[in-house]
């Protein structure tokens, strides 16, 4: 396969940009094609069949744009669709899951909080993760209602953001959590606000850098790394273009055009 082809990345909204920024940092020569499925957000409250169907459609679109690999920059869509996508497509498909293992490794008292969507926390994939790696720790899960919408609003640190974050985090602090896993790609955008609310010793785990590292490893292994250019970023969305354009400018950078995602 031609290594100059782009990397396809998608999420329900702009949360996946928190992963894209690490990919960009670690792989600056790559073209990154990003889809925000903003017309169908939030995935976390939809059933897994619906999310899997969206993931299939977006993956087909990205492959039609020439993608050499797909990054599911969404924990919820990974839980719902990574297995079927890998069965149907031969190109590398990189998924995400909450960083339970690093979360437990970082904890001193063994009390770990997992922040993710209902869809992720209720999935068979997450139950399996807990069974394999949750042993010996007290794992407290928390579907952070309202955080995805808060990030989509691009108010990441104002009084409302602080209130929404504190409401979800306080019960975890009360239970002694000293390690917090951000198991939804929207949540790293709230990192600084979370920091304001938790005790200073609390570890906050974001799996974005590890996903970018794994992507780099997989591309290198298959001879698909692109070199010696400066890659571009292109975006598509299934919702309102002007809104996504604004979000991308605020959470990524200006000058990145957003195009409509074809309905079929
Ligand atoms: N950003 C997504 C995740 O990592 C899901 C957000 C949503 O649409 O509920 O799970």
Active-site hit among 144, 184, 235, 237: 184
Virtual torsion, Cα 31, 249, 181, 85, nearest 10 deg? -40
Strand partners, 10: 35, 72
Contact 133, 104 (CB under 8 A): yes
- CA–centroid distance, 173 to ligand 1, in Å, is 23
What is the β-pairing status of strands 258-260 and 138-143?
A: unpaired
At 206 the pLDDT is 97
- 223: buried, middle or exposed (CB in 10 Å: 19+, 13-18, 0-12)? exposed
Tokens representing 8? 């396809």
Q: How much is the pTM?
A: 0.97
Please work out whether the CB of residue 120 comes within 6 Å of at least one atom of ligand 1: yes
For 191-206, how does the pLDDT look when each residue is reduced to its tens digit (9 = 90+)?
999 999 999 999 999 9
Domains and CATH numbers, the chain: 7-96+209-260 (3.40.50.1860), 100-206 (3.40.50.1860)
The span from the first CA to the last CA of the chain, in angstroms, equals 26
Tokens representing 124? 């068979």
For 223-242, how does the pLDDT look when each residue is reduced to its tens digit (9 = 90+)?
999 987 889 999 999 999 99
How confident is residue 81, by pLDDT bands cut at 50, 70 and 90?
very high
Please work out whether the CB of residue 208 comes within 6 Å of at least one atom of ligand 1: no
Q: Is 74 designated active site?
A: yes
* % of residues, the chain, pLDDT over 90: 96
Quote the mean pLDDT of the chain.
96
- CA–centroid distance, 27 to ligand 1, in Å, is 24
Q: Which residues are annotated as a binding site for substrate?
A: 11-12, 43-44, 75-76, 185-186
Nearest to 258, CA basis, from 250, 61, 243: 243
- CA–centroid distance, 203 to ligand 1, in Å, is 21
Tell me how far apart the alpha carbons of residues 160 and 157 are, in angstroms, rounded to a whole number.
Answer: 8
How confident is residue 1, by pLDDT bands cut at 50, 70 and 90?
confident
How confident is residue 36, by pLDDT bands cut at 50, 70 and 90?
very high
């Amino acid at each position: 396969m031609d290594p100059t082809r782009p990397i396809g990345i998608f999420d329900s909204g702009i949360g996946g940009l928190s992963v894209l920024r690490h990919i960009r940092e670690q792989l600056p020569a790559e073209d990154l094609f990003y889809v925000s499925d903003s017309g169908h957000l939030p995935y976390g409250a939809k059933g897994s069949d619906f999310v899997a169907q969206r993931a299939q459609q977006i993956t087909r679109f990205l492959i039609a744009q020439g993608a050499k690999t797909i990054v599911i920059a969404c924990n919820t869509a990974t839980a719902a669709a990574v297995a079927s996508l890998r069965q149907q497509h031969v190109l590398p498909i990189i998924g995400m899951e909450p960083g339970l293992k690093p979360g437990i490794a970082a904890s001193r008292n063994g009390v770990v909080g997992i922040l993710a969507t209902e869809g992720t926390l209720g999935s068979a994939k997450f139950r399996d993760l807990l069974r394999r790696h949750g042993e010996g720790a007290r794992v407290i899960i928390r579907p952070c209602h309202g955080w995805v919408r808060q990030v989509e609003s691009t108010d990441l640190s104002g009084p409302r953001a602080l209130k929404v974050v504190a409401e979800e985090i306080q019960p975890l602090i009360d239970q002694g959590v000293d390690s917090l896993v951000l198991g939804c790609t929207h949540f790293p955008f709230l990192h600084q606000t979370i920091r304001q609310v938790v005790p200073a010793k609390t570890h906050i785990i974001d799996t974005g850098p590890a996903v970018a590292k794994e992507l780099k490893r997989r591309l290198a292994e298959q001879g698909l790394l692109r070199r010696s250019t400066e890659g571009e970023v292109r975006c598509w969305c299934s919702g309102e273009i002007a809104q996504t354009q604004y979000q991308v400018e605020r959470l990524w950078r200006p000058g990145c055009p957003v195009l409509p995602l074809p309905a079929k």
